[in-house]
Amino acid sequence: MSELYQQYVTHLQKVADINYSSAVLQWDQEVYMPTKGAHYRAQQLSTLAGYAHELITDKRYEEIIEKLHDDTSKLSPVQCANVLESYRIFKQQKKYTTEFVVALNQCISKSFNAWQQAKQENNFKLFEPHLQELIKFKRQESELLGYEQHPYDAHLNLYETGLKTSFLETIFNQVRQKLVPYIQQLVQKPQPDDNFLFKSYNKDKQWHFGLDVLKQMHYDFESGRQDISTHPFTTSFSANDVRVTTRISEHDLFEMIGSCIHEGGHALYEQGLPADDYGLPSGEYLSLSIHESQSRLWENHVGKSQYFWNHNFKTLRNIFPEQLHDVSERSFYKAINRIKPSLIRTNADELTYHLHVLIRFEIEKDILSGALQAAQLPEVWNEKYKSYLNIDVPSDAKGVLQDVHWSHGSFGYFPTYSLGSFYASQFFHQANKEIPALMHHIQNGDTMPLLMWLRSNIHNHGRTILADELCKNVTGEVLNFNYFLIMQNKIR
């Protein structure tokens, strides 16, 4: 390894040390921190973030990365991919002026507080002026970062390198044309009974079943652990310390099981990244959509499959004989796959979920183009919920104010959730073709062949290629929405 490349690695690992330290403090904040610890914890996190920013914009680092970028001839392919990606990020960072960042952060801080109050008091007017100001900043940010076709592209690119509005248009056109009527047709049919999922289930027994499921998935407990938090999440402090959290409701059995498998999928991805490439792009997750593809693949295609429950239902019924003695494996499988158009995105089933995202995609695009102003959002929101989901929104608190994302200035994040699901279907479809008797293995409780396939096809690559290249390499074609419909058809 050249001395210059070694300096680059050392510097990036230092940045990673600080960012992962922040992640430990955030994990602790969500799972164990006593309430009064909040004030100084926020200050500690802010100091760490400030130092990480200092390191990223360091002059010596600029020299190193510029020199490496100027002559990549002596680098291995992976080293070259790392340098190109780091260079891209460095150049992106350089486009932000300090004044802009300070003003934006002040605006976000006010905006977030206003959103919290507005949601609590169900009063959009409290949020509106701050959101309008934030939109102004975000439109400036598009100009600052640059884009070829649509100002929204600049923001999409922050979460998903190379993602374009035009590409999302083609995907969401199909959601509109195929998924909307498909759902309208499904909801006409009688729905399976799922009342038994909401009986009383002992939390401690749920917890142990969840751990058992994670073990079945080959989540490595020597490189991670599960804890309880208000909102389930996955976090990582290296590929050797990847932690999941779950939430257990006494009266909602599948909430815990679903979140365990979902977060387990995220965690298997992080545990499968090249551990020695700590801090380098080649050791990092590829993009938000690819991350989400891993959680959704396990959740939707393993955890909600009849094969998985063929292996696990008896165990579950033995744990909860009173609640499940009159429930068949088939009815259980039907119940967990039930669809029901609803008001809140985070509670949505796997099909109607994408209509929630479609609505946000359409709105975000128009916000960034300047076609929509903050004041118009409640009306537009409610119209779209009526049109796509046939739902009357009863209040802004449960409507346009339901998500935190916009108050944080995150525009372009939502679409990656849907892309993740669609990638998941396409990847799983391919895995099924390549792994002999995959579903038979799952039926026998053996998910190792699937994990090995994901490791070699997806996890091992880190961030050395783009999402659409990965998809093409793995499945032979770019993202194709039809696989999502095919896989959903199999379930129903």
Catalytic residues: 263
CB 8 to a second copy: min, Å: 16
**What's at 203, amino acid-wise?**
K
Concatenated DSSP letters for 16-78? HHHHHHHHHHHHHHHHT--GGGHHHHHHHHHHHHHHHHHHHT-HHHHHHHHHHHH--TTS-HH
Nearer to a second copy, 91 or 215 (CB): 215
Q: Which residues bind a second copy (CB under 8 A)?
A: 13-14, 17-18, 20-21, 24-25, 28, 32-37, 39-41, 43-44, 46-48, 51, 220-225, 227, 237-238, 240-241, 278
DSSP designation for 84: H
CB 283 to a second copy: min, Å: 11
CA-closest candidate to residue 429, choices 441, 440, 438, 419: 438
Tokens 């008896």 map to which residue?
314
Nearer to a second copy, 43 or 149 (CB): 43
Which residues neighbour 251 within 8 Å (Cβ) at sequence distance 6 or greater? Answer: 198, 199, 200, 201
Helix, strand or coil, per DSSP, at residue 276: helix
Q: How many helices (H) and strands (E) does the chain have?
A: 22, 3
CB 402 within 8 A of CB 359: no
Distance (Å, whole) CA 474 – CA 478? 9
Nearer to a second copy, 275 or 437 (CB): 275
Dihedral angle of Cα 312, 316, 321, 323, to the nearest 10 degrees? -120
CB 461 to a second copy: min, Å: 21
Nearer to a second copy, 227 or 379 (CB): 227
Nearer to a second copy, 235 or 287 (CB): 235
CB 48 to a second copy: min, Å: 6
Nearer to a second copy, 197 or 244 (CB): 244
- The upper half-sphere exposure of residue 389, i.e. CA atoms within 13 Å in the direction of its Cβ, equals 27
What is the distance, to the nearest Å, from the Cα of residue 165 to the centroid of all Cα atoms in its chain?
19
- With the C-alpha atoms ordered 311, 312, 318, 323, is the resulting torsion angle positive or negative? negative
CB 70 to a second copy: min, Å: 28
CB 369 to a second copy: min, Å: 41
> What's the start-to-end Cα distance of the chain, in Å?
54
CB 23 to a second copy: min, Å: 10
Give 466: exposed, middle or buried? Use CB within 10 Å, 0-12, 13-18, 19+. middle
**What token pair was written down for 304?**
């909600």
Nearer to a second copy, 11 or 119 (CB): 11
Tokens 């158009």 map to which residue?
341
